[in-house]
């Protein structure tokens, strides 16, 4: 077996959930180990650029450093780390070896390792959010908006506690997720914008940079501005932990929305419910032993990935604690954040694929609705009786539902058989009576609300839908 074979990798994210996808190179651009080092080198370059601009480093320093970092390889840095046992010193040494003697002193000048590491991470996560995560999630969002709009009028039984409750529409069911994902997308956008860098040295008091700069905070701002970042209000050897914690929380809670959707859709695929289906390829196998099966494997995969990565949030919270001006216990743990992001991207891509080919079984949605039709109107009936002056409407209707369960009569028929209740019934308007006689009309404003939600997000995210929102 060749060592470069992708199946030699340990993480299933490499060989199973991302690498085989055509966008892996793009993911690797921000989340791979090569990217980690490239972004760190980019921060070292920004420092040299500012030093040269200030006349401290030779004029040609940025060009030389840029050339040097273009030639850097991850392998050589790891080989150097094997000697130094310090990854950032290894990076600095490798850059220094590639530039002329008079430029070497300005590599990493006044910096501590985490001026580089934390700044580079904020930068790559911010870019990953803008160029990778947000577009991918918006694609998924659009596919859900399409379904919501297309299905806005399709009456479906609403379920609470797994029991038939009162009617909604299938579009409304999906609109919940359009709203929840939309709000999370905005949250990711906001939290990515708030990621910060630092250039405040080994304990955050600008000890080294204040030797050379009258206003070291201004110098920090200049270096970070080269990269499009800002500093936080305070830093120690590391940036304040909260901006990255909030950013990852936004990602993980988004992942939870995806998992909740997947779980709901999986339940709607149960044999007894069968209201939707996953597209099934003609050569696809459902079960190795039961040839008839069509399993909701995609939804199950998303929930499973979420189970693997959602708990990582606990680690992120633990990384908020660092002793005094820092300890290194957040170092190894934070190296797994790219995996969490990759898993989220994989789940989003999978759900987009499945959602855009979702099969909605109109017959079964109707059949399930009809199943309990006579009970569904218990709620409007009791409310209308109360509004018509019945002193104990809830109890009266509860008794009717028990009778309805024991007989073939509908609630309406039982009302008709009771002189007392019929008296209240006669006070109902035509429209109110219709709600009891035709439970499928008892959907509240499900369709309008669906349309409103879709329209809101279509406007915000500026995408076209096949089904027009008027
Ligand atoms: O600017 C500095 O370096 C300041 C220094 N603190 C350190 N800051 C940043 N990195 C450091 C530090 N110390 C070690 N290392 C190196 O970090 C690497 C940790 O590797 P891993 O545990 O795999 O994540 C691994 O390569 C470690 O060697 C201090 O003494 O405060």
Q: pLDDT tens, 168-211? A: 999 999 999 999 999 999 999 999 999 999 999 999 999 999 99
User: Per-residue pLDDT averaged across 54-80, rounded?
Assistant: 97
pLDDT in tens, 434-466: 999 999 999 999 999 999 999 999 999 999 998
Using CB atoms within 10 A of its CB, is residue 426 exposed (0-12), middle (13-18) or buried (19+)? Answer: exposed
pTM of the complete model: 0.94
Residue nearest to atom 21 of ligand 1 (CA): 332
Whether the ipTM is more than 0.90: the answer is: yes
User: Per-residue pLDDT averaged across 308-329, rounded?
Assistant: 98
Task: Evaluate if residue 74 carries a pLDDT over 70.
Answer: yes
DSSP 82-146: HHHS-HHHHHHHHHHHHS-TTTGGGTTTT--HHHHHHHHHHHHHHHHIIIIIHHHHHHHHHHHHH
Band of residue 294 on the pLDDT scale cut at 50, 70, 90: confident
Measured from the Cα of 85, ligand 1's closest atom is: 28
For residue 18, what pLDDT is reported?
A: 80
Residue 261's alpha-carbon distances to 242, 272, 447, in angstroms, are 28, 19, 19
User: Per-residue pLDDT averaged across 216-225, rounded?
Assistant: 98
Task: Evaluate if residue 137 carries a pLDDT over 60.
Answer: yes
Q: What integer best gives the mean pLDDT of the chain? A: 93
Task: Evaluate if residue 39 carries a pLDDT over 70.
Answer: yes
Please give the share of the chain, as a percent, with pLDDT higher than 90: 86
pLDDT in tens, 236-289: 999 999 999 999 999 999 999 999 999 999 999 999 999 998 775 666 666 666
Measured from the Cα of 84, ligand 1's closest atom is: 28
Centre of ligand 1 from the C-alpha of residue 328, in Å = 7
User: Per-residue pLDDT averaged across 210-215, rounded?
Assistant: 98
Instruction: Look at the chain and count its residues.
Output: 470
Task: Evaluate if residue 3 carries a pLDDT over 80.
Answer: no
Centre of ligand 1 from the C-alpha of residue 47, in Å = 20
Centre of ligand 1 from the C-alpha of residue 160, in Å = 52
Measured from the Cα of 334, ligand 1's closest atom is: 24
Task: Evaluate if residue 117 carries a pLDDT over 90.
Answer: yes
pLDDT in tens, 353-405: 999 989 999 999 999 999 988 888 999 999 999 999 999 999 999 999 999 99
Tokens 């002189």, residue located? 419
The set of catalytic residues is: 161, 287
User: Per-residue pLDDT averaged across 325-342, rounded?
Assistant: 97
For residue 372, what pLDDT is reported?
A: 85
- Residue among 194, 177, 322, 320 at smallest CA distance from 256: 177
User: Per-residue pLDDT averaged across 279-300, rounded?
Assistant: 71
Q: Which residues line ligand 1 at a C-beta cut-off of 6 Å?
A: 81, 85-88, 112-114, 202, 237, 328, 331-332, 335
For residue 296, what pLDDT is reported?
A: 86
Centre of ligand 1 from the C-alpha of residue 323, in Å = 14
């Amino acid at each position: 077996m060749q060592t470069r074979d992708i199946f030699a990798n340990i993480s299933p994210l490499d060989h199973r959930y991302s690498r085989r996808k055509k966008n892996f190179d793009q993911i690797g651009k921000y989340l791979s180990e090569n990217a980690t080092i490239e972004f760190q080198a980019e921060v070292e370059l920004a420092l040299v650029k500012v030093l040269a601009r200030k006349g401290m480093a030779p004029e040609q320093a940025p060009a030389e450093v840029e050339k040097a970092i273009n030639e850097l390889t991850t392998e050589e840095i790891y080989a150097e780390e094997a000697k130094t046992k310090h990854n950032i010193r290894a990076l600095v040494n490798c850059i220094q070896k590639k530039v002329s003697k008079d430029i070497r002193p300005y590599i990493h000048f006044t910096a501590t390792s985490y001026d580089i590491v934390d700044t580079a991470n904020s930068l790559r996560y911010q870019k990953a959010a803008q160029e990778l995560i947000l577009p991918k999630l918006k694609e998924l969002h659009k596919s859900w908006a399409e379904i919501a709009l297309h299905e806005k009028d399709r009456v479906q039984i609403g379920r609470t506690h797994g029991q038939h409750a009162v009617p909604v529409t299938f579009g409304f069911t999906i609109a919940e997720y359009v709203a929840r994902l939309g709000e999370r997308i905005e949250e990711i956008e906001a939290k990515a914008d708030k990621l910060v860098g630092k250039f405040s040295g080994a304990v955050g008091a600008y000890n080294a940079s204040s030797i050379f700069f009258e206003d070291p905070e201004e110098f920090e701002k200049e270096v970070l501005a080269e990269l499009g970042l800002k500093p936080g209000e305070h830093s120690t050897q590391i940036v304040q932990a909260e901006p990255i914690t909030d950013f990852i929380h936004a990602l993980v809670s988004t992942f939870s929305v995806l998992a909740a959707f997947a779980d709901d859709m999986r339940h709607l695929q149960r044999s007894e419910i069968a209201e939707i289906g996953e597209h099934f390829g003609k050569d696809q196998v459902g079960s190795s032993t039961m040839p008839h099966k069509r399993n909701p494997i995609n939804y199950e995969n998303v929930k499973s990935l979420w189970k693997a990565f959602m708990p990582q949030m606990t680690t992120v919270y633990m990384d908020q604690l660092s002793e005094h001006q820092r300890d290194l216990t957040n170092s190894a743990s934070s190296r797994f954040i790219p995996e969490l992001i990759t898993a989220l991207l994989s789940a989003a891509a999978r759900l987009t694929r499945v959602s855009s080919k979702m099969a909605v079984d109109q017959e079964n949605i109707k059949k399930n609705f009809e199943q309990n039709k006579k009970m569904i109107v218990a709620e409007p009936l009791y409310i209308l009786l109360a509004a018509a002056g019945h002193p104990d409407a809830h109890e009266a209707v509860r008794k009717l539902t028990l009778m309805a369960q024991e007989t073939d009569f509908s609630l309406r028929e039982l009302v008709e058989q009771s002189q007392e209740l019929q008296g209240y019934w006669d006070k109902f308007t035509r429209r109110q009576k219709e709600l009891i006689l035709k439970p499928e009309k008892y959907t509240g404003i499900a369709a309008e609300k669906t349309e409103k939600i879709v329209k809101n997000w279509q406007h915000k995210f500026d995408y076209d839908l096949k089904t027009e929102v008027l």
